[in-house]
Amino acid sequence: MTQWVTFWLFRFTFFVNSICAEQYMVSLVKGEYLYYMKKLLVLIIIITSPLSLFSLQLSEELAVGYYSDLGATIGLRLEDRETDFPLFVQVRGGTVYQFEPGNAEDARKIFINDNEGGNIEEYGLSFLFALDAGWKLPVKENLTAELALSGLINHYEAHFSFIGNNESFSVKTTTWGVGLSGGLRMKFSRSRTSLSVKAGLEFFPKTRIDAHGTYYYNPDGLDDNPRQDYIYGDADEAINQPFLRPSVQVGILFPIGS
């Protein structure tokens, strides 16, 4: 069982760390990433080796659906597999693709320059990491209701390009958040694999907005090198950074190991 757990946890941790490209690619070049991954794998082996002694089940969950646009998450879940103990914990990493990241013209004026024209291409990306603590409530045979409270870290990037003007830039934010979700999970007969449908809502407080490594806007009004007379409210209105993020997902959960 330890080999399976190690393999899947390595795959998950590599995925979560690799999605935040800018921060983690720097660490990879310096060799720091491999160093810390070795340390993490040793810790994983130590923690997961005794799972079978305590009737604990480690499972992997893949979920896709509406995440205030299009989102996908992958998670590792730990729960009791033999008793009626109702609690579970889960760690998740994921990506959200945003079709409309904001007002490109306003973002250019607030973060870059006063140029005009060009064909606009835009999209937004969020990279999230979450820790969930949940409660299971049996409804009937093979059907369980679940409620979970989450703590999150979210890195958001709004990308804008003006084709023809040779201008392209990204606006970025990183913040913590909290979430609440609930849903139903149905087990397949003669299998520990299960299918889930869940909905949730996440809240993220306002945080610093920056672009191009030059202009920074802070929610407390103490802006660092703001452009012209623009303030935080202008920058916040120009991009669709996460604030209240609803989600509806369909997921499949399958056990790892014995």
Taking only the tens place, the pLDDT of each residue in 181-222 is 999 999 887 777 899 999 999 999 999 998 876 778 888 877
**Mean pLDDT score of the chain:** 81
Q: What is the pLDDT of residue 167?
A: 85
Per residue in 113-125, pLDDT tens? 888 888 999 999 9
Q: What is the pLDDT of residue 166?
A: 80
Q: What is the pLDDT of residue 160?
A: 94
Nearest by Cα to 156 from 136, 173, 139, 177? 173
Span between the terminal Cα atoms of the chain, in Å = 6
Average pLDDT over residues 96-103: 94
Task: Report the C-alpha gap between 46 and 149 in whole angstroms.
Answer: 27
- Kindly report the pTM of this predicted structure: 0.76
Average pLDDT over residues 54-77: 89
Six-digit token pair at 175? 């913040």
- CA 48 vs. chain centroid, Å, equals 24
Average pLDDT over residues 159-171: 89
Average pLDDT over residues 233-247: 93
Residue predicted with more confidence, 39 or 85: 85
Six-digit token pair at 185? 């999970």
Per-domain residue ranges of the chain: 1-49, 56-255
User: Hey, which residues does 57 pair with through a beta bridge?
Assistant: 79
Q: What is the pLDDT of residue 258?
A: 58
Query: CATH number of the domain at 56-255, please?
Result: 2.40.160.70
Average pLDDT over residues 150-177: 92
175 in Cβ contact with 204 (< 8 Å): yes
Per residue in 19-52, pLDDT tens? 444 444 434 444 554 565 555 555 555 555 555 4
Q: What is the pLDDT of residue 30?
A: 42
Q: What is the pLDDT of residue 111?
A: 87
Whether 149 shows a pLDDT value over 60: the answer reads yes
